């Protein structure tokens, strides 16, 4: 995905890929190097994020502007 990426940037990339809003609830600050191995599709993205980056997408209902 990239080097020296802040979580809000990663969240925006994920939201664009899945076509839904994504809310960052990690509380992580700073910049991170992310690399995802293999061919990632909209259907496989949640699994890849969990298995390779330790991040979980959880469906929820939230109010936002």
* Structure confidence at residue 50 (pLDDT): 92
* Structure confidence at residue 29 (pLDDT): 92
Q: What is the pTM (predicted TM-score) of this model?
A: 0.78
Closest by CA position to 60, among listed 21, 5, 33: 21
Q: Is 8 helix (H, G, I), strand (E, B) or coil?
A: helix
* Structure confidence at residue 63 (pLDDT): 81
pLDDT in tens, 24-43: 999 989 999 888 888 888 88
């Amino acid at each position: 995905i990239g080097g020296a990426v802040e979580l809000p940037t990663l969240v925006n990339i994920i939201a664009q890929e899945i076509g839904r809003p994504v809310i960052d609830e990690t509380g992580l600050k700073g910049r991170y190097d992310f690399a995802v191995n293999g061919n990632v599709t909209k259907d496989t993205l949640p699994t890849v994020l969990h298995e390779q980056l330790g991040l979980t997408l959880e469906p929820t209902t939230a109010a936002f502007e």
